[in-house]
């Protein structure tokens, strides 16, 4: 409030100064009618040019900054800070929208193999780099419109609208092969991932879909890791 009143007082001082300037200039005019006409016109021009326009520019700039800050806050709330991927909450919202619209989809849960060993053996910086590389690899193999998100820790979710689990398994298999190629060209520790895939033909409940995909992920781990499973034989 104090700052607002200070700004109001400052603007008032400027307006008074401009009006005084206009009066000093127009006082030299002998004709009363002309003098008052020029005084009003000059005051209006000075106030418009030196107060109204700068104030408008400042308000527009403040509005732009507020909108930008609000957008940044929204993005921060919707994305994972490390990878830039949508976070778990955003993924849930996307899934609920797909279910509400009756759009079938496949879901894959991916988990980096022995990630704790990677963190402990090479440090958290190496672990963070591994997560970012994996996120980039997943995004490189999916279609436009597919969703790759970080579910938490070393776990990632891939949503493939209008796809069945066999297609999802093919996409994740490409990601598995692509990751090996990417890591062979980088000075970083090698690692692999495992994944389980399910689709809405098996159940239309999101929680059950995740449970199915997670069961297949765990089975992939038990079979030796570094593999993608869309079923448990």
* Catalytic residue flag (residue 154): yes
The listed CATH number (3.40.50.150, 3.30.70.270, 1.10.3720.10, 3.10.20.30) that belongs to domain 88-229: 3.30.70.270
Banded pLDDT at 6 (limits 50, 70, 90): low
Residue 197's H or E segment, with its range, is strand 193-199
Give per-residue pLDDT as tens, 175-192.
Answer: 999 999 999 887 778 899
Name the residue ranges covered by the structural domains of the chain: 2-78, 88-229
Banded pLDDT at 229 (limits 50, 70, 90): very high
pLDDT of residue 39: 75
Count other C-beta atoms under 10 Å from residue 25's C-beta. 14
pLDDT of residue 64: 77
pLDDT of residue 155 exceeding 80? yes
Percent of the chain with pLDDT over 90: 53
Distances in Å between the alpha carbon of 212 and those of 167, 172, 186, 202?
16, 16, 34, 9
Q: For residues 134 and 136, give the distance between their C-alpha atoms in angstroms, rounded to a whole number.
A: 5
Candidate list 30, 154, 173, 178, residue with the active-site label: 154
Banded pLDDT at 2 (limits 50, 70, 90): very low
Percent of the chain with pLDDT over 70: 85
Least confident of 51-55, 68-72, 109-113, 162-166: 68-72
Write down the mean pLDDT value for the chain: 85
Banded pLDDT at 10 (limits 50, 70, 90): low
Assess contact for 194 and 220: CB atoms under 8 A. yes
Q: For residues 205 and 69, give the distance between their C-alpha atoms in angstroms, rounded to a whole number.
A: 36
- Mean pLDDT along residues 170-179: 95
């Amino acid at each position: 409030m104090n700052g607002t009143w200070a700004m109001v007082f400052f603007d008032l001082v400027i307006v008074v100064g401009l009006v005084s300037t206009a009066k000093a200039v127009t006082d030299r005019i002998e004709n009363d009618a002309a003098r008052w006409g020029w005084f009003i016109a000059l005051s209006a021009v000075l106030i418009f040019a030196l107060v109204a326009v700068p104030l408008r520019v400042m308000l527009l700039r403040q509005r732009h900054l507020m909108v930008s800050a609000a957008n940044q806050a929204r993005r921060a709330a919707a994305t994972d800070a490390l990878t830039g991927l949508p976070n778990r909450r955003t993924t849930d919202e996307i899934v609920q929208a797909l279910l509400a619209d009756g759009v079938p989809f496949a879901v894959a849960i991916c988990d980096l193999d022995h990630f704790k060993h990677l963190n402990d053996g090479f440090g958290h910086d190496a672990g963070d780099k591994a997560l970012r590389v994996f996120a980039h690899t997943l995004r490189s193999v999916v279609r436009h419109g597919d969703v790759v998100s970080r579910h938490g820790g070393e776990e990632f979710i891939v949503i493939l609208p209008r796809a069945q689990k066999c297609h999802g398994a093919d996409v994740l298999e490409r990601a598995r092969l692509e990751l090996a190629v990417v890591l062979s060209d980088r000075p970083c520790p090698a690692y692999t991932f495992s994944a389980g895939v399910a689709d809405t033909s098996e159940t239309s409940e999101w929680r059950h879909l995740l449970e199915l995909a997670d069961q297949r992920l765990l089975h992939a781990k038990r079979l030796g890791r570094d593999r993608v499973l869309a079923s448990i034989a």
